[in-house]
Structure 1
Amino acid sequence: MSTEAQIDAALEAVVSAARHHRAVLQAGAPEERIWRAYVALNNATVRYDDLISEIYDEVTPWDCEYLESDGEPEAPPAAPPDRSRPTGGVPVGDGALMVSVRHRRDYVIPEPARLLSLATEARGTSWAAVDSTHAARPVTDVGEAVNELVQAGDGTVAALDAYPEDLVPGNGVLLVNALHRPLTFADAPASGGPDPLHLGPDETQLYRMDEEIVDEESLDDPVPTPRDPVNGSAARLW
């Protein structure tokens, strides 16, 4: 990856982390989720600042140090790790690697009719200046409603954090897999192609993180202990 591409990717990571942090705050999420979002934003900022300093010998207005996501912040390493060189996955040429990050999160919808109403309102706002006909079309099913709410936010699952009473989050899982072929849409599942979320026979799971929803009021320690990755040696590389 070129140096300019590294900077572009680091900047996009800062923007994405900032949007997610704001969405978590808006949703009134538990303190542990707010802390993780804060750490992600902090570390993305540090990475961008490091690249600006290294490549242009300039500085940003931010004065941050790397933080660990679990427990209290720890002292940062003497030198930030070089994250421009991936250390897991499958080589695809010129030292680059290819991985697939797959995230599942379950939700309970207490009042489906209310969700459809919220999505219809979001569609009207988002599409009013683009396609008035589509903006006026009501949302009629739950899948379509979730899509509208995601698109009305930042385009990621994090956008759903803004509706904690209408989409009550359940357990989730994040998987990082090494793969040999990039995702294409030439063969969609509807035409008999493979499921894009299915792990192929020649693909390898590198890391798994379980996100377990716990009733914090029933615990002495409200912060759940992360489960061990299914592949410890690979997970340590990330």
Structure 2
Amino acid sequence: MSDAEQPTAAEVRAAAEAVKVALDRHLEAVERRSGEDDPAVYEAFNELAAAAEEYDELLYDRYDEVTPFEIPGTDDSLPPYSGPEEPNALSVLIRRDYTVAQPQRLLAQAQRVADLDTSASSGAGSGVHAALGVLFGEYEPDEVASRHKEFGLEEGDSTLWVAAADEPPEPGEWLDAPFEQSDPQRVVCRFDVSAVFDDDPEDGFRPAGLRLGRGGIADADDADELDAEELAGEIDEDGIRTTPSTGPTA
């Protein structure tokens, strides 16, 4: 960075003062918290993180020095919950990524399905595109996930969002654009699985008041077996943890 682009000493000092103010506000919010899911604490936390990150960057740009702070990332965090306190309708949004690791195994499995079900035989062995259509047409997504190696697939990242809705949508209402109206502020809880969590068994499950801005699990295979005690913030023998953030108690 050139001298012209460097922040001034006054800017660095101002950023340091902003951290002090944010730190005081965070402590005050914690001292006055009304419960585990107090939105004021969540907001003060984010303000402190932003102020510390700004100071860290300016300090480095000006003096080539760093702070001892580990700045929490905000990309993984959910925004404050804005949905109904007692949802009477839910939308479950799922994304699972796969790599076709063994095309021949995939084709063979699709052909087996086609041999047992003549309605699925059209083009089953003609290519990966057709084979995927046969398998996902025959098996539920959860079964594909549990048997992915058998189908020649390799798991990538996955996420599941449980979002609150005011009213159930009309049949067929959103089929043309199923994910267009997804709103992170209405997410009650979420489950993430990624290789980036392999070194930290506390990443992955993101409850949202049940909500979470930070925390998780390394593997969501047992996520559907979480009980109420675990969701309240316990760590079980498999390393599953929940960390409440803001939002209603589900």
Smaller-chain TM-score bracket = 0.3 to 0.5
Larger Rg: 2
| TM-score computed with the length of structure 1 as normaliser | 0.42
